[in-house]
Chains A and B, each alone.
Chain A
Amino acid sequence: MAAIAQFFDMGGYARFVWPAWGLAVIVLGGLLIDSVVTYRKRRRELDAAEERKR
């Protein structure tokens, strides 16, 4: 337990280290979700349009 607490304390720099890593997760995760959601939407729309054409 103490080792885990010590890890999260980051030598007293927890309030700087974790927001930096947290923002990395938010920014990269946000870009990933946006890219994948848009991709799936375009795929569906294009498949539907090609279906209508046939």
Chain B
Amino acid sequence: MKRLINQQPSKAGKWLLGALPFILILLVYVVASNERLAVNPNDKLMPSFEAFGHAIHMMAFEPSKRTGDYLLWADTLASLQRLGIGVGISALISLIVGILIGIIPLMRAGFAPVVTVISLVPPLAILPILFIIFGLGEVAKITLIVLGITPFLIRDVQLRVMALPEELIIKAQTLGASTWQLIVRVILPQILPKLIDAVRLSLGSAWLFLIAAEAISATEGLGYRIFLVRRYLAMDVILPYVVWITLLAFLTDYLLRRLSLYAFPWQQNEGGAK
């Protein structure tokens, strides 16, 4: 028998092992839910799968009686829009600032300390300030996402730029590159896939800030809905929403990874995006 560290699962075994925890969680839920419902058929904490199906049908495939919208899709669209704009702005800012303070020592001396300090401010603590300044509309929510993840992204980009081999920077100069040319022809193309990696890592926080902002002030959105129906202990809506958010997060991550491999084929032998 080989040592445990040298035993590799077969392909089928890998799938089976991967699926096992999910099956176990489902099983535990079904058993517990059945027990509770047997004692009290009106139990709201652990609804049956039938109740889930009903709730999903109502949220996703029937227009709301009050607004006429299909709530799940309206919520999804609103949330994804906020998330997309927020993350997009953050990525753009961090790309520009991160590259500048990563490669230009004068910029680094000027801006790195302030970025470090800003990154230490807990974003949720300044959410009330954002609501006061920007009102309760979209701007405050998007600003929270931007403030929440941009400092992390800037520092990541800066470190990635500084980690580029010195040799490449010198080589570019011996080919006659100016600072600007060095940035657009050497640094930018090498940093873009790393920015995508950093964005993938920051998406978790982005969702956190989005849902926090929606919970406090919104009229639609996935986070808003969850906190709204919480008042009615509507676990049959909350749990499918949570699963849906998880699925969306997984899909965004997957798409970003595919984008990175597709747009930057040169990193395939480099141990880049995995």
Q: Do A and B come from one complex?
A: no
Binding site for B on A (CB under 8 A): none
Binding site for A on B (CB under 8 A): none
